[in-house]
Structure 1
Amino acid sequence: MTYTFEALNPLKSLRGLVLIFLILSCTKSKRIIPESTGNNSKELLRVIDHFKKKDSLKYVAARFLINNMGLHYANSKTINPIPVHQAVFNEVDHQAKYNYKHELTQTKPTTNINFLKFATKTVIPKILDKAPELSVSYDTIYDVETITKNQLITHTDNAFYVWKNSRFCKNMSFQEFKHTILPYRYLDGEQLKLSTTFNRTLLHKFITVDSLNTLNKVIERFNFYVSKVRFLTGLVDFKDDLGFYNVLKWEKLSCETQANWTANILNDCGIPTEIHQTPNWLNRDGGHTWCASRDENGVYHPFSPQWQNLGDSLFYKRASKVYKKTYEEQKDTPYFIKDNKETVPKYLDTPFLKDVSDQYHNTVTLNIPIDAMPQNKNLAYLSIFASQHWKPVAWGNINKKTKTVQFDKVPVNATYIFGFFNNDVFSPVGNPFYVSKHGNRHYFNPNNNSKTTILVNEKYPQKEHLKKWLELLKGAKFTGANKPDFSDEETLYELKETPLPIVYDINITSKSRYKYARFKTQNNAVSYLSIFECFTRKAPTDSISLGTRPYITKPSDKVLAHEIKTYSKIEDIPKKWSTNNTRDNCLDGNIETFTNNFRIGLNFETPKRIDKIRFAFRNANNYVNYRDTYKLSYYDNGWKTHRVKKSKYNYLTFENLPSNTIYWLSNLTKGKEELPFIYHNSKQLFLNHDNISTYFED
């Protein structure tokens, strides 16, 4: 049973005071508040008495906070004060606001930026050397044991103040307010960060001035501020858990802690902000936590603090399921649904998750039959392929009468597999299936009576952000010249299309000789060039420098393999560059290193005829590599190994494979990024990355 204030009123005895906080002692709770909290129970009752006499709405709000306080906790508690860190923060805060203000207001900067960075390398560390060692305990500390009357009253008053005064809270209902501005905690395990006047004034004037009249401008200003704090403190080593002052070690914080810090600050400043997270991206390994803030029209917009502004919708379309971190207990979570003997994935085993996937995707409800009912289980899971295994991202409640499991808010146009969680391991059932836009399930059931042959080039698709950057290279040119200022340059080759993640081998038709060669982008875009080599036809008596091997991506390219020894690389004259110049990264023959320069020049000892140019751009090296060993598997109620091969070129051919299934190419030599795919119209289509809807008839 969950005890409420209504059920326990009047509360006259100490025993009654303790019972208030047996909110935790419902049948599914893992912890029971000890009687030693009786003294703090009195503190929290004083909060109720305070607002009951003064403000009926604040009285309801305080009851909401205390009634949902029981399961919230911190994993550490700073015992000693930290005036030194506060002094450092005050200085960094001042510099971030004052010396960078010109970038937002177009006024002239007052301090040299290099000097500021020098100061953070010398002055701040000296201040910290004098700081006493912090006394920090890392036990689990429940909020009901530590929050005082004054803290909770001050926090509630501040929350109501910004609710009534912020333009971003316009037309916000009390119900919405309870779940955004009002909570004093957004993430368990973190140190307590109750709202204070200090928090509210910290950035309030800086990010909510009248000129910043839209949410987009506010978030841009906030991200700008945090990026400058990060710049000023990036070279300083802060080892302690600094609570609020963790912003001084921003670069070392997890995305979850960054989102938590951001939500606290923005809510204190009257910008309603939630914390959203995905257990895993649909098409790559790892999850992510970010913020979503409310605009003047009541619409929430996602962003990742410091490095991403509003409007990057494609980024979040790649999230699988999306959950909101809540303050109020959610009774439909695995934490409460699970059987007493049932284990749950750790990242889903919390009472404070609310499914908001429908805010990011078109979603459907799936009802899946269960052929063999498991023992001691109330839950089943949907998983996606991530990090070389199936990872649960959604739970469903098993209906034992109908022998089905229902999954709500399932994103469409994605591939999943259904199964159970046993002893901390996901056990898939049957074969994976694709969920169409209409909610139909299309199973990948292999057809062993219809064999197929496939040609593969990649174990993982080209990354979208890299592809987006490389699109900017259209129109870039390779040129030759005989004057060092390139005033006499001639175009040798121009990029007409977005380049692929391969080493290109381009024949040059010019018969002229050049002492210099150069690659330059349009509009000073970053080149991301990882290979840049020029070749001349080798004379019979010449020695040979083979250079980087060009990619042979299909059988018709094999002629390149025979040509390799007929051309010799023209050597660049070495030159000493500044230590921060990345120019030589495109000359080291390593496709995984690249230059950030927008133009790169080569200097030959004497004028040479350039017959070929080989080049490549920044990529993750997920193409088939020459002489690496690969394994191809297919799915048939589990992964089955088809064949292991050593590559002779930058493609592999596999024959006699079952059709209508998914395949998985693994590099056994190196690399980790891999994603299953289907084979359709002689192409690899990667799951949850490429559009495979045309593969099915819905």
Structure 2
Amino acid sequence: MKLIRLWGILLFVLTSCNFRSSDLEEALVLAGNNRSELEAVLDHFKDRGKVAYESACFLITNMQYHESKDEIVLDSLYNSYFIHTDSLYRGIFSKIPLNEQKEYKGREYDSLRLTLGDIFNTLPAPQIKSGVHLSDLQTVKSDFLIDNIEEAIKIWEANEYDYRKDFDFFKEFILPYRTTNEYLVHKRSEIRKMYESLLVDTASIRTQIEHYKIYVDKCRWINHHTKPKGHLGIYDLFVPKFKMDCHNMTNWSCNVLRACGIPTIYEFTPKWTDRDNRHFWCVSPDSIGILQPYTAPDNNIREDWESDIKYAGKVYRKTYGAQKNTPYFWADEDEFIPESFKTPLLSDQTFRYHQTITLRLPFKVDSHNNIAYLAMFTVDNKLVPVGWGKIDHSKHEIIFEQVPLNTLFFPVCYDADNMLPIAEPFIIYSSSKLKDIPEPLTTNELPRNVVDVSVVDGKLSFDKQTKWSDLKYLTLNCDTSQKIRMHLLRKYPQKRRMKTFYEKLNGACLLGGNQERGEYDTLCTIKEMPVPYLQEIAFENCKQYRYYRFCTSNSEPVNIAHMEFLGNYSPNHNCAIPTALPVFSEEELVRQKSCQLYRINGVPIRTGSKPEYAFDNNYNTYVGAASIGMDFKTPVQITSIRFVPRNANNMIVPGNSYMLLYYDGEWKEHKVLRAEHQYLDFENVPVATLYWLRNLTEGKEELPFFYIDGKQYFLHIDTVLL
């Protein structure tokens, strides 16, 4: 009995709140002169219960992996300015329903916004020290950390979290005082006070995020004319200049939302499947607890899933706590690690975004490395590492976990910092969704029984007795003895975002009138979604008008890249030959008839910024106003319009030169052609799995494609049945 009691006492001591792990002791030693500050935090919470003390231990233990990359010091006038911005928001929008705030333009506030811009632009420049790398262990003070933990504990108590079920979630989604490498200025309680009247105690997480989204959008509207001289820390959220900096916006959004009790974490993809960029976004649970992504502060949960995040490649979570299954811990002492994977603060979350498998590849390279990588192709003909796998030297294999289906990967390893191919590029192909693998955004936990497959003699071998007939291991083959003729129309697929612009043009009208601000007659209405190239709409019009306007039916931007007004020759106007309609094949070229009408030019009506962009013959520029128009000075009869909606100009452009490449162990050039029309015909092309069309004249966006039955299927975008 005494022995049992002694073991019980020992167990209590070892598991008590005040027990310090070796990792915690190591962190305190590394803190140096700042150790007393961290000891003060531990002392403050030692008698506050298990959750509070373990929270302090968790934060301090992992501080050695965190730092502020840059130091940003702002004049106090910035605080005063943004307090004023907040007051203006509340004064203008307090009585406007949330769903109406988004569309509110408030022209009567234009002069006020100009004045605010002038005031802001006189503020002293931020004092920024780049690359200082201030270690949290040596710089974070006790009052800052105590404030953060106290605030987090309030959220714990308000949500009635359970230790066993919720503490791990709490540690990453609520507790952290930072998100990535931002400079720490504001205490958590200060951030909460900035937003609590907007975000705290609203009905749901979705409603809270919607309040936040609209608030930031309207603050940017108020600050439209500001011209910041450098980053402003948390205030970057409220000025338009930094809107497209998704890392920065995600970073500060996580801090704001967590401070207000919304569980939030930072996730990212090192590369899109259809673009070379990285992207960063927030993640929060929906009403049933499933984690959902959103690019904050411009979207609510899942709002940009279909348009963007769905096309992420591998996906990682930026954690606060160190993860032991990362290259940081797995790599040999002298083993090279790519820059993006040098941190232990990564958790692979690809399984939540794609159907994935565990893949075992043979490893036949003479190397002592512990890690191999999966890389993806970029348009500058480079490979970017996006995932890692552990090398099992005893079995001569690499185990890659969470490999998404239908994605092209290049297996590589490193000799020093030189990337070396170690196997053929491959795709784990499936013609349909697999019912036994969770679909995207339906689970928070990686399934215990993952699909585990090995590559043996170039084919998939399955674990246990399971046979996944829908899965295929595809490599990039090439047969130079066989030739085909190839008819190409694009170098890059049509962008999803552009399609939404075209949809909003359905219902747009062409109007004619003789007074710029008088009554207009409706001459024609667009009754179907326009196409992304030059098209003509003819209509009956027996009258002459001085002014012609083209406008959307819902005040959305017209997003027109180019427009021409056509009619019979008029001696009173500047007339020219209209731009020819596109030709997509030799057959169309033979059938094409000459146009009997003339392009009649006038003076663009000033309906917004840069109205001339709609008439400049440049398809790379566009007008974003709700209408465009032309003043012909004297009335003229217009009976047709030709126009191009805003587009990325990724079709075949006449006058541009294009190189066709095919993959045969490496990218090999087939031929260069100069486009005469909107298509290219290449002869005697080797039969290959994958091709790549490069524009040698202009543009950056390109994507490899399959060519099957006379049609292009772009990699990762188009559905291919093989």
Q: TM-score w.r.t. structure 1 length?
A: 0.85
Change (3 A) 1:259 1:599: closer
Is 1:379 aligned to 2:407, yes or no? no
Is 1:474 aligned to 2:506, yes or no? yes
Change (3 A) 1:685 1:9: same
Show the counterpart of 2:270: 279
Whether the 8 Å contact between 1:99 and 1:110 is mirrored in structure 2 is no
2:91 and 2:482 map into 1 onto residues whose CA distance is: 70
Show the counterpart of 1:679: 707
**1:557 Cα deviation from its structure 2 partner:** 2.1
Change (3 A) 1:181 1:597: closer
1:205 partner letter: S
Whether the 8 Å contact between 1:415 and 1:435 is mirrored in structure 2 is no
Change (3 A) 1:394 1:59: same
Q: 2:340 aligns with which of 331, 336, 347?
A: 347
**1:681 Cα deviation from its structure 2 partner:** 2.8
Is 1:40 aligned to 2:34, yes or no? yes
1:70 partner letter: Q
Change (3 A) 1:291 1:404: same
Whether the 8 Å contact between 1:338 and 1:379 is mirrored in structure 2 is yes
Show the counterpart of 1:459: 491
1:234 and 1:83 map into 2 onto residues whose CA distance is: 21
Show the counterpart of 1:367: 360
**1:218 Cα deviation from its structure 2 partner:** 1.0
Greater mean alpha carbon deviation, residues 236-245 or residues 57-66: 236-245
1:518 and 1:226 map into 2 onto residues whose CA distance is: 33
Whether the 8 Å contact between 2:121 and 2:228 is mirrored in structure 1 is no
User: What is the identity percentage for the equivalent residue pairs of Structure 1 and Structure 2?
Assistant: 30
Deviations 1:620-642 (A, max 9, x none): 11111111111000001110000
1:377 partner letter: N
1:610 and 1:81 map into 2 onto residues whose CA distance is: 58
Deviations 1:131-168 (A, max 9, x none): 8x748574222111122233222221111012212599
* Number of equivalent positions: 661
**1:458 Cα deviation from its structure 2 partner:** 0.7
Whether the 8 Å contact between 2:507 and 2:527 is mirrored in structure 1 is yes
Deviations 1:63-89 (A, max 9, x none): 1112222221122345x7843222222
Whether the 8 Å contact between 2:246 and 2:281 is mirrored in structure 1 is yes
Tell me the secondary structure at the aligned position of residue 522 of structure 1: coil
Show the counterpart of 2:192: 200
2:359 partner letter: L
Deviations 1:396-439 (A, max 9, x none): 11222222222211222333332234565644442443532454
Q: 1:140 aligns with which of 133, 140, 153?
A: 133
Change (3 A) 1:295 1:650: closer
Show the counterpart of 2:646: 618
1:397 and 1:291 map into 2 onto residues whose CA distance is: 29
1:270 partner letter: G
Q: 1:293 aligns with which of 277, 281, 284?
A: 284
Show the counterpart of 2:462: none
Tell me the secondary structure at the aligned position of residue 58 of structure 2: helix
Whether the 8 Å contact between 1:364 and 1:409 is mirrored in structure 2 is yes
Alignment of 1:118-517 (within 5 A): 118-126=114-122, 128-129=123-124, 134=127, 136=129, 138-166=131-159, 173-187=166-180, 189-192=181-184, 195-209=187-201, 212-239=202-229, 242-247=232-237, 249=239, 251-252=241-242, 254-312=245-303, 313-314=305-306, 315-370=308-363, 372-389=364-381, 390-421=383-414, 424=417, 426-428=419-421, 429-436=423-430, 437=433, 438-478=470-510, 489-491=522-524, 495-505=526-536, 508=538, 510=540, 512=542, 514-515=544-545
1:57 partner letter: V
**1:290 Cα deviation from its structure 2 partner:** 1.0
Change (3 A) 1:521 1:96: closer
1:117 partner letter: R
**1:98 Cα deviation from its structure 2 partner:** 3.0
Tell me the secondary structure at the aligned position of residue 332 of structure 1: coil
Tell me the secondary structure at the aligned position of residue 47 of structure 2: helix
Structure 1 residue runs without a partner (length 5+): 1-5, 25-32
What is the alpha-carbon root mean square deviation over aligned residues?
A: 3.7
1:54 partner letter: R
2:302 and 2:22 map into 1 onto residues whose CA distance is: 48
Whether the 8 Å contact between 2:152 and 2:175 is mirrored in structure 1 is yes
1:11 and 1:54 map into 2 onto residues whose CA distance is: 10
Tell me the secondary structure at the aligned position of residue 707 of structure 2: strand
1:395 and 1:299 map into 2 onto residues whose CA distance is: 26
Alignment of 1:107-118 (within 5 A): 113-118=109-114
1:524 and 1:354 map into 2 onto residues whose CA distance is: 44
**1:543 Cα deviation from its structure 2 partner:** 10
**1:341 Cα deviation from its structure 2 partner:** 3.4
Greater mean alpha carbon deviation, residues 359-368 or residues 134-143: 134-143
Whether the 8 Å contact between 1:169 and 1:271 is mirrored in structure 2 is no
Whether the 8 Å contact between 1:166 and 1:271 is mirrored in structure 2 is no
**1:562 Cα deviation from its structure 2 partner:** 6.4
Is 1:73 aligned to 2:32, yes or no? no
Q: 1:94 aligns with which of 82, 87, 92?
A: 87
Greater mean alpha carbon deviation, residues 85-94 or residues 166-175: 166-175
Change (3 A) 1:656 1:434: farther
Is 1:658 aligned to 2:686, yes or no? yes
1:109 and 1:486 map into 2 onto residues whose CA distance is: 24
Tell me the secondary structure at the aligned position of residue 123 of structure 1: helix
1:230 partner letter: R
Tell me the secondary structure at the aligned position of residue 430 of structure 1: coil
2:107 and 2:581 map into 1 onto residues whose CA distance is: 50
2:218 partner letter: K
**1:386 Cα deviation from its structure 2 partner:** 3.0
1:658 partner letter: P
Tell me the secondary structure at the aligned position of residue 626 of structure 1: coil
Tell me the secondary structure at the aligned position of residue 393 of structure 1: strand
2:377 partner letter: F
**1:537 Cα deviation from its structure 2 partner:** 6.2
Change (3 A) 1:97 1:362: farther
1:145 and 1:669 map into 2 onto residues whose CA distance is: 52
1:112 and 1:545 map into 2 onto residues whose CA distance is: 42
1:504 partner letter: Q
Show the counterpart of 2:582: 551
Show the counterpart of 1:27: none
Alignment of 1:554-593 (within 5 A): 554-559=585-590, 563=594, 567-572=597-602, 574=603, 577=606, 580-593=608-621
Whether the 8 Å contact between 1:168 and 1:295 is mirrored in structure 2 is no
Show the counterpart of 1:3: none
Tell me the secondary structure at the aligned position of residue 314 of structure 2: coil
1:180 partner letter: F
**1:10 Cα deviation from its structure 2 partner:** 14
1:430 and 1:379 map into 2 onto residues whose CA distance is: 17
Is 1:59 aligned to 2:53, yes or no? yes
**1:360 Cα deviation from its structure 2 partner:** 1.8
**1:659 Cα deviation from its structure 2 partner:** 2.2
Greater mean alpha carbon deviation, residues 436-445 or residues 647-656: 436-445
Change (3 A) 1:154 1:288: same
Deviations 1:430-461 (A, max 9, x none): 24435324543222312334322111111111
2:109 and 2:549 map into 1 onto residues whose CA distance is: 32
2:578 partner letter: G
**1:255 Cα deviation from its structure 2 partner:** 1.6
**1:20 Cα deviation from its structure 2 partner:** 5.1
